[in-house]
A = this chain, B = another copy of it.
Amino acid sequence: MNIDTIIGFMAAFICAIAMTPQVVKIYRTKKTSDLSLGAFGTLATGLFLWLVYGLLIHSIPVITGNGIGFGITLYIIIMKIRHG
């Protein structure tokens, strides 16, 4: 695997798990009022399209990374709707 591919995989992995500390923070504080529902809704849409793209081109890294990111973002949206 060359350096380009390694950096690409690192980027995909880090972006996939990026919102994990936000989930932990919401879980601890139950506060979401400063979060923008529009921002996380748009992010979920984009990640869902990446997931569809991954399925179309049969790319396991694209499917996995964006599947995880989409799940995390969906959780944040549900918490935002619940806590306001």
- A38, A53, A57: which has the most chain B beta carbons within 10 Å? A53
**Partner among B22, B33, B34 whose Cβ is within 8 Å of the Cβ of A39:** B22
**Which range contains the number of A residues in contact with the other chain?**
35 or more
**Minimal beta-carbon separation of A47 from chain B (angstroms):** 7
A50 partner residues in chain B, CB cutoff 8 A: 8, 11-12, 15
Query: In the complex the two chains form, is B3's CB within 8 Å of A46's CB?
Result: no
Q: How far is the CA of A18 from the CA of B45 in the complex (A)?
A: 9
**Minimal beta-carbon separation of A43 from chain B (angstroms):** 4
Any B CB within 8 A of the CB of A49 = yes
- Contact residues of A with B, CB < 8 Å? 3-4, 7-8, 10-22, 24-26, 29, 31-40, 42-43, 45-47, 49-50, 52-53, 56-57
